[in-house]
């Protein structure tokens, strides 16, 4: 899933400082799963914003809440068609896709992001998420037995490990596993260490963000 973190309350409060009435829009997709922009988080943010504005008798803020199925599909964006104009601004708790789809659909409204979208990953324990994929556009993890050196090596080395690998940890942080250490150990355990004699050539990054904004077209699905 896409993992995100909520922005600080002061940052969000600054975005809406001139507003009297806003809509906080959550998303039932990834941000619900990573507990950042689902139903509960929408309620919490709405309450925090109201508390902040009521504090010391400040200008009250009217906050309405909505939870969309997804904010990355036009049919769900359409759910707010009739009401989106009722607010001074809309704060989206979806990943960075949400406020953009909303902005494109409703050019007269202002949309603000309440979260920082951080990575593609999963929950390794309750409340802890880790990065697993960098979305490079050409998956190569079959060479590394299911472990991705692009997303998980700090230097995205294709032929690691580097000299900084120590006792299974990466040199950038004591609590970060060196993915190359894990790759090598797994190859040894499976008796396939020889695989690593192959020198992986430099990656063609054009399929990644380096090639510009990406688009995926599936002819069999288009109308």
Partner 1 sequence: MSEDFEPKILAFCCKYCAYAAADLAGSMRLSYPPNVKVIQIPCTGRIDIVHILKAIEDGADGVYVAGCMEGDCHFVSGNLRARKRVEYVKKTLTELGIEPERVEIYNLSSAMGPRFAEIAHEMTDRIRKLGPTPVKTRTV
Binding site for ligand SF4 (CB under 6 A): 153-155, 157, 160-162, 164-165, 170-171, 178-180
Report the distance separating Cα 221 and Cα 223, nearest Å. Answer: 7
| 154, interface contact from ligand SF4, partner 1, none, CB < 5-8 Å by kind | ligand SF4
Q: Collapsing DSSP states into helix, strand and coil, what is residue 7?
A: coil
CB of 42 to partner 1, least distance (A): 10
| 179, interface contact from partner 1, ligand SF4, none, CB < 5-8 Å by kind | ligand SF4
CB of 124 to partner 1, least distance (A): 18
Report the distance separating Cα 4 and Cα 115, nearest Å. Answer: 6
Report the distance separating Cα 137 and Cα 165, nearest Å. Answer: 27
Nearest partner of 147 among 183, 114, 171, judged by Cα: 183
CB of 10 to partner 1, least distance (A): 7
Residue 39 vs 189, nearer CB to ligand SF4? 189
Q: Which of 5, 18, 20, 51 binds partner 1 (CB under 8 A)?
A: 51
**Residue 176 engages partner 1 in binding (rule: CB under 8 A):** no
Residue 28 vs 187, nearer CB to ligand SF4? 187
Report the distance separating Cα 25 and Cα 46, nearest Å. Answer: 10
Q: First CA to last CA across the chain, in angstroms? A: 27
Do 52 and 9 touch, CB atoms closer than 8 A?
yes
Q: Catalog residues that contact partner 1 under the rule CB under 8 A.
A: 8-10, 40, 43-44, 47-48, 50-52, 54-57, 60
């Amino acid at each position: 899933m896409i993992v995100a973190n909520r922005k600080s309350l002061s940052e969000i409060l600054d975005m809406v400082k001139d507003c009297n009435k806003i809509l906080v829009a959550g998303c039932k997709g990834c941000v619900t799963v990573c507990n950042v922009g689902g139903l509960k988080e929408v309620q919490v943010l709405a309450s925090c914003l109201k508390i902040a504005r009521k504090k010391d008798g400040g200008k009250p803020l009217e906050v309405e809440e909505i939870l969309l199925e997804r904010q990355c599909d036009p049919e769900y964006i359409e759910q707010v068609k009739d009401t989106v104009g009722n607010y001074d601004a809309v704060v989206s708790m979806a990943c960075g896709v949400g406020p953009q789809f909303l902005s494109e659909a409703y050019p007269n409204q202002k949309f603000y992001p309440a979260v920082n979208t951080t990575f593609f990953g999963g929950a390794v324990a309750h409340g802890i998420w880790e990065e697993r994929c960098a979305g490079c556009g050409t998956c190569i993890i079959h060479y590394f037995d299911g472990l991705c050196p692009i997303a998980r090596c700090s230097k995205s080395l294709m032929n690691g490990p580097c000299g900084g690998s120590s006792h299974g940890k990466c040199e950038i942080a004591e609590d970060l596993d060196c993915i190359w250490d894990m790759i090598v150990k797994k190859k040894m355990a499976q008796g396939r260490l020889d695989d690593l004699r192959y020198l992986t050539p430099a990656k063609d990054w054009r399929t990644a963000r380096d090639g510009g904004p990406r688009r995926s077209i599936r002819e069999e699905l288009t109308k």
